[in-house]
Structure 1
Amino acid sequence: MIYTRTGDKGTTSLLDGTRIRKNSIRVESYGTIDELNSLLGFGKHFVPEQEIVTRLHIIQKELFAVASELADPQGKTYASHLSDTEIQRFEAWIDEYVKKMDPAPKFIVPGSSQASGILHVARTVCRRAERVMMTLDETEPINPVLVKYINRLSDVLYTFARYLEETQELVN
């Protein structure tokens, strides 16, 4: 059933069944991850590079794991199982795309194409997700791998967006 009426008074259930207010920092944390995931799903349709689309899809599946762990206060039932392996993979992706770009640092104005523009927006949502997660961590410690994952993900999104900006400049 789509509607349960259990949230009609401003509360929601975490994955362990605990009911909390919908404006709690925990709900904000996994809600922001959900927003990022949806934005990446939308953004994929504008990206002309199939390899980036494939990688964005991988990230989307992993973001479900991040959100699930954030929605599980004890992190036991829905642990993400993310590790330094995914962080290292992100770093390899970044290194791969940086090698394809002009090494001269320059200011990038987001939005020379729909693809780069949407990835820049996703990057900023990712940064917000990280800030919200750090606020949650001040009162309810969360898995540090999740913070590291989201931090590096924003770097990946920046790199993909910058690459798409640069390839767009070459076309025009």
Structure 2
Amino acid sequence: MVTLNKIYTKTGDGGDTGVVTGERLPKTHPRIVAIGDVDELNAAIGVAMGHALGDELMGMLLAIQNDLFDLGADLATPKTLKGELRLDAGRIGRLEEMIDALNESLPPLESFVLPSGPGGAGALHLARAIARRAERSVWALKDDGGEVSGPVPTFLNRLSDFLFVAARKASRNGGGEVLWVPGGAKDE
């Protein structure tokens, strides 16, 4: 377990931050940006959990929040350290099982869904958009030559799919989805 006795260290006041190895990186480094985007994603899921989503969704989201902490540790730790925490590929399969379980109770889509809706759906849609950004940040880190373990980008991609289905489920539970009406905003 992690113990934090002091919250501020003042070591990042100059624009850099430490990673697990003790190395200091600029706060704009692609690795730190990716870690920050994953942290924001986890917080957005926490905001969504502030809505009455039901026990099934709450349990799934809590498990995902723990996975995201592991994913952040994975991003912050180079593969050269012994005993490093890695996101295992089995968690992608678990996400797919959760998507399938939620999707079974939903009707097929007949239109695009607007990123809003009752029952916490809007918050889940926001988390989905942040998941997409976090995935792009991880790919940017990889494109910059940074080490990223294999399951990380795939997990984030699948997580955005999960959050979309979870938002649909929350909308349906809260009274209904808000569907896109092409040209619906035109002046009559």
- Same fold per superposition (TM over 0.5): yes
**Equivalent residue number for residue 113 of structure 2:** 108
The answer to whether the aligner puts 1:36 opposite 2:41 as a matched pair is yes
**Equivalent residue number for residue 66 of structure 1:** 71
Structure 2 letter corresponding to 1:151:
N
Instruction: Give the structure with higher Rg (CA).
Output: 2
Q: Aligned to 2:22, what secondary structure does the other structure show? A: coil
Matches within 5 A, 1:3-152: 3-74=8-79, 76-77=81-82, 79-138=84-143, 139-152=145-158
**Equivalent residue number for residue 166 of structure 1:** 172
Structure 1 letter corresponding to 2:69:
F
Between Structure 1 and Structure 2, the one with more helix by share is 1
The answer as to whether partners of 1:65 and 1:79 remain within 8 angstroms in 2 is no
**Equivalent residue number for residue 155 of structure 1:** 161
Call closer, same or farther: CA 1:78–1:3 in 2, change over 3 Å. farther
Structure 2 letter corresponding to 1:69:
D
Gapped regions of structure 2 (runs ≥ 5): 1-5, 178-188
The sequence identity of aligned pairs, in percent, is 32
Gapped regions of structure 1 (runs ≥ 5): none
The answer as to whether partners of 2:120 and 2:170 remain within 8 angstroms in 1 is yes
Residue 111 (structure 1) shift: 1.6
Q: Aligned to 2:25, what secondary structure does the other structure show? A: strand
Let me know the Cα RMSD of the aligned residues.
1.8
Q: TM-score, normalised by structure 1?
A: 0.91
Residue 24 (structure 1) shift: 0.8
The answer as to whether partners of 1:108 and 1:165 remain within 8 angstroms in 2 is no
The answer as to whether partners of 1:14 and 1:73 remain within 8 angstroms in 2 is no
Call closer, same or farther: CA 1:3–1:83 in 2, change over 3 Å. closer
CA distance in 2, matches of 1:22, 1:75: 22
CA distance in 1, matches of 2:7, 2:109: 51
The runs of 4+ residues in structure 1 deviating greater than 4 Å are none
Residue 109 (structure 1) shift: 1.7
CA distance in 1, matches of 2:146, 2:34: 12
Deviates more, 1:125-134 or 1:160-169: 160-169
Q: Deviations along 1:22-80, whole A, 9 cap, x unmatched? A: 11111000111111111111210113311101110110011011011111133635644
Residue 154 (structure 1) shift: 0.7
